[in-house]
Amino acid sequence: MAYRIFDHTADLGVEVTAATQEELYSGAAIALFDLTADLSTVRAGTSREIAVEGEDAADLLVNFLRELLDAYNGDGLLVKSCLVREVDSRKLRALLQGERFDPARHRIEKEIKAVTYHQASVEKTEDGWVARVVFDV
């Protein structure tokens, strides 16, 4: 999994590449939290399973990342690892591991307010998979 930030006016664009579709969605999850906090300080002590649906692969990506952002904003969950157990173009099941935000140990790098549909895409390429998503910061 690899990701890079691309320029986007007033927002933060991320492009994720991976060999498999499962790794792509896992990579997008880790990119979200790597941008949010210093993951080297996050422990994988809590597990949570989530299931998400979407109309197509891009909608699924946005819904998945929104679910993760809700877990952070609602429960303070910082995700250290993400194992996608099942994915197709319309549904995804994943196991998240991480811990609750602790201001004594964790530093927030960027506040991501929302995951947007603007330029959201998921594509299979000759080399694997590529996804793009824009975060409202």
Domain that holds residue 45: 19-136
Q: What is the pTM of this model?
A: 0.93
For the chain, how many structural domains are there in total? 1
pLDDT tops 70 at residue 58: yes
Torsion 102-35-120-115 (CA) sign: positive
Residue 2 lies in a domain: no
Residue 41 lies in a domain: yes
Average pLDDT of the residues of the chain: 95
Percent share of the chain, pLDDT over 90:
90
The CA distance from 73 to 6, in Å, is 24
pLDDT tops 80 at residue 6: no
